[in-house]
Structure 1
Amino acid sequence: MDQKQIDFLLYVAKCLIGTVIGFVIYRAYPEGGAWSLVSILLVISPEGKDAINLAEVRIKANLVGAGTGLLLFFLHPPALVMICLGVVIVLIICELLKLQVATRSALASVIIICIHESGKYFYQVALERAAGVILGCLIALLITYLVHYKSLISNVRERKSRVSWRRNQFRKPGDVADTETEK
């Protein structure tokens, strides 16, 4: 078997493990568990390289969307004007926080929350979604970590070296020599 086939089988295994865990959560807590299951499968990636970024983006997007939906709840019951206001607020927040990658997920989140099921408290829908997404992302990260431990550690070390390089790039030549002698 070549590396591509092994990577595919590992991806299938990670997705199945995530699905089983997510389904167990879904059976125990249907509302939040559904979002956990969806988040697990959205964050797990074939190589595991971008799992951390996917989880961060998904969590931030859903917190922006759920927070906006919750804010709108206190202003007025859901209506077309409130949903449109929610869309504008999410777009502005994502732009200000430089979360353009998360914008679509945040928009989906605010819409889902604004058109929640009747009979449920609005804030409950927002909190269940946010909690379910965070839990699902954390589970996906744990699965990815367990399967790709060595490659994730090297990615973290690579990130640290890039940050150090950027930090040293803006120092004066004498400052870099001083920090090296301190070590």
Structure 2
Amino acid sequence: MTRLFRQIISFIRFDATHAEKIYLVKCVLGALICYSFYFLLPQYPLYWAVVSTVLVFTPENNNQLAFDRIKCNMLGGGIGMLLYFVPLPNMLLLGLGIALTIVIGLALRFDKTIRTALAAVVIVLVEESSHKDWTVAIERIVCVVIGCTVALLITFLFSNAKKMMD
């Protein structure tokens, strides 16, 4: 308990490593960019792009892991998109989507990033109303792609900035 308390106090003072500070900036920047899209186009559920964006970044600023998370985001979104049109109750589709995402993700050796794919499949498949409309799936997959694109651009921006400083 004392260690946790010290970590909280340390964080409040923002006694973070350089990598943790970069992680914080990337997440906030990505969230603000995606939320700006949502603010400009409120008729679309672009807030889902924020979720996809912040899931990509890592506190270690590991670019390979970020790229793998982007791939997994696309995998989960794609599986969700394909299943959306299967005529089953949403609860069964969600379970099937999670199972397929895990099986395919593990087969593709995305063991460490599979949770990102699971988040994307949930984003696409979860229904907020009883009326099933295919445009919802299209909008959500577009949100996942936008979030991944923003995360990719930020990752490249920070990688290039680091190379220029070295």
TM-score norm. by structure 1 comes to 0.61
Q: Which runs of 5+ in 2 are unaligned?
A: 1-15
Give the drift of 1:126. 3.0
Q: Distance in 1 between matches of 2:113 and 2:19?
A: 27
Pairwise CA RMSD: 3.3
Aligned position for 1:128: 139
Q: Percent identity?
A: 35
1:26-66 CA-partner distances (Å, limit 9, x unpaired) = 21344452122223333344563x14532x33332233323
Contact 1:69/1:113 (CA < 8 Å) preserved in 2?
yes
1:115-167 CA-partner distances (Å, limit 9, x unpaired) = 32224524x333333322232232233234334425458xxxxxxxxxxxxxx
Aligned position for 2:50: 37
Cα distance, 1:58–1:126 mapped onto 2, change above 3 Å: farther
Cα distance, 1:143–1:59 mapped onto 2, change above 3 Å: closer
Aligned position for 1:160: none
Find runs of 4+ consecutive structure 1 residues off by over 6 angstroms. none
Aligned position for 2:65: 53
1:143 aligns with 2:151: no
TM-score norm. by structure 2 comes to 0.65
Give the drift of 1:24. 0.8
Aligned position for 1:21: 33
Q: Distance in 2 between matches of 1:18 and 1:11?
A: 11
Count of matched residue positions in the alignment of Structure 1 and Structure 2: 149
Aligned position for 2:120: 109
Matches within 5 A, 1:138-177: 138-149=149-160, 151=162
Q: Distance in 1 between matches of 2:31 and 2:75?
A: 26
Q: Distance in 2 between matches of 1:59 and 1:6?
A: 23
Contact 2:52/2:120 (CA < 8 Å) preserved in 1?
no
Q: Distance in 2 between matches of 1:5 and 1:107?
A: 29
Q: Between Structure 1 and Structure 2, whose CA radius of gyration is higher?
A: 1
Q: Distance in 1 between matches of 2:156 and 2:94?
A: 38
Aligned-partner residue type, residue 104 of structure 1: R
Cα distance, 1:142–1:103 mapped onto 2, change above 3 Å: closer
Aligned-partner residue type, residue 35 of structure 1: W
